[in-house]
Amino acid sequence: MVCASSKGLGFGCADALAAEGVNLVVNARSAGPLGEAAEQLRRHGVEAREVVGSVTDPSVRAALLDAAPQVDILVTNAGGPPPGDFRDWDEDAWLGALRQNMLTAVELIRATVDDMASRGFGRVVNITSGSVKAPIANLGLSNGARSGLTGFVAGVARQPQLASANVTLNNLLPGKFATDRIRETAGVAPGEELPVPEGIPAGRYGDPAEFGAACAYLCSEQASYITGQNLLLDGGAYPGTF
Ligand code: NAP
C-alpha cells in the first residue's frame, strides 16, 4: 500500500516497488492522474489497484485496507502542510497538520503491523521530511507534526513483538526532490527546468526514482535488520557528521 502515490515521491516509491514485482494499492485525491500512474505501474507486470480520495479521511483509509488482500508493505505519505508564521496558526490549523502528517500514518500503522507480525514479514516506510532533522523556519506545522510521527515510530519500531517478527518501521527524509511540490514552491511550470539549487553539495535536486530506490531497499528482505531509522536523502545538504 503506497499512499499519496500518483506523483512525486509517492509515485517514485510505488514505481520502484513495482519494478521488484510488488503488487500495489495506490492512492491520490484526483482520479485522472492516479489512473495514469496505475497504468504506468502495471507495465511492470504487477497489479495496481486504485483508491481515490484523501488518505486523511477515515473512509478512504478503510477503502485502502479493503482493496489490499494483505498489507506486507505500507508506505505512508500525504501532502505537506502550508508554510507560514506560527502566530497565524490556531488549533484547527495544527489539528489539520497533525491529521495529515502524523495521525494518518499512525492509524495505518495501527491497522497493519500486528497482521504483518503474525505473517513474519512487514515493512513500514514513512515519507517525512529533512525538516525533522533540520527545521525549516516557515514550515512549523511540518516540523512539529512530522517530529511527532518520528517519535511515535521510534518507539513502535522497538517493540519486541514487531522487531522479532521481521516487521520494520523506518522513515525516509527527503531534502529537495524535483517534484511538482518543489516546482510550485519555486514558481516553476511543469516541464520547465528547475534552477540549480543552492546549499546542496550534489549541485542538483534529487530524482524521485532515487527516493523510490531507497524505499525499495528498506522494504527488501535484505533490510530486515534496519528498524527505527531515519534516512536523510538530501545530496549532502545537512551539514552534521551524524
Ligand atoms: P507532489 O509531487 O505534490 O505529490 C504529492 C502526491 O500526493 C500526489 O500524488 C498527490 O495527488 C498526493 N496527495 C497529496 N495529498 C494527498 C492526500 N491528502 N491524500 C491522498 N493523496 C494525496 O509532492 P512530493 O514532493 O512528492 O511530496 C510528498 C511529501 O513529501 C509531502 O508531504 C511533502 O511535503 C514531503 N516533502 C517533499 C520534499 C520534496 O523535495 N519534494 C521535501 C520534503 C518533504 P493528489 O493531489 O491528486 O491527491
Residue 168 in contact with residue 224, Cβ under 8 Å?
yes
pLDDT the model gives residue 66: 98
Ligand 1, atom 44, lies closest to the CA of 129
Which residues in the chain land under pLDDT 70?
A: none
6 within ligand 1 shell (Cβ under 6 A): yes
Taking each helix axis as running N to C, give the angle between helix 31-42 and helix 8-19, from 0 to 180 degrees, rounded to the nearest 10: 20
Question: Rounded to the nearest whole angstrom, what is the distance from the C-alpha of residue 9 to the centroid of ligand 1?
Answer: 7
Give 183-200 pLDDT, tens digit per residue: 887 888 877 888 888 999
Q: What is the residue whose three cell numbers read 485496507? A: 65
CA neighbor of 126 nearest in space, from 171, 63, 163? 171
* Percent of the chain as helix, strand, coil, to the nearest 5: 45, 15, 40
12 within ligand 1 shell (Cβ under 6 A): no
Residue-wise burial string across 208-225, b where 16 or more C-beta atoms lie within 10 A, e elsewhere: beebbbbbbebbeeebee
Residues 6+ apart with CB under 8 A from 129: 80, 136, 139, 142, 146, 173, 174
Give how far Cα 62 sits from Cα of 7, 56, 59, 215, Å: 22, 11, 5, 24
Q: All domains of the chain, ordered by start, with CATH?
A: 8-233 (3.40.50.720)
- C-alpha cell of 233? 536523502
Q: What atom of ligand 1 comes closest to residue 6's alpha carbon?
A: 9
